[in-house]
Amino acid sequence: MNRITSASLSLMFMLALSGCADAASDADAIDAGAPNVSGEVAASGEATASGALADPNTADEATLAAVPGMTEELVAAVVGARPFANMLEVDALLGETLDEAAREALYSHVFIKLDLNAASDDEIKLIPGVGDRMAHEFEEYRPYDAIERFRREIGKYVDEAEVARLEQYVEIR
């Protein structure tokens, strides 16, 4: 029985190791839609496949073109309209050709970080998944003196993963 158990364990171990190699290649193919919980912004020329948000003011054309839903025409429009003062300006430009659902999907990849202490209700609601109630919670705890306060206060309403997702869209200036 020990021999069967050892053989079974060895086989499972080898299968697990081969699965790791498959998982690594699968991870390379993951859609760029995975939220970035580190809060990083994609640098110019860096693909957003890492999950980092690309800043429409600074991302190069190749980075923008790599974003799902960004056509050549949209990339040219964004680059041609720079600089944007805020996400409301980006939304107005993209709203000329994209519906609300398409823009929300795009904002999972391309976004100008919002100042927690100054962003309007309309700007906050451009963050994917944020509605009236959460926008109110963002505003209720102003002024924010540190991102830790944002984490603590918003963490009263959503789990840690969601706080991390939301954090990538905001900053304190």
Say yes or no to pLDDT of 15 above 70: no
Angstrom distances, CA of residue 153 to CA of 33, 44, 138, 149, 161: 26, 32, 8, 6, 14
Cβ neighbours for 143, distance < 8 A, ≥ 6 positions apart:
117
pLDDT tens, position by position, 22-46? 333 332 322 233 333 333 444 433 4
Angstrom distances, CA of residue 37 to CA of 16, 17, 72, 125, 152: 27, 27, 28, 19, 16
Say yes or no to pLDDT of 10 above 50: no
Residues in the chain: 173
Looking up tokens 């040219």 gives 76
Quote the pLDDT of residue 102: 97
- Kindly report the pTM of this predicted structure: 0.72
Looking up tokens 């993209």 gives 94
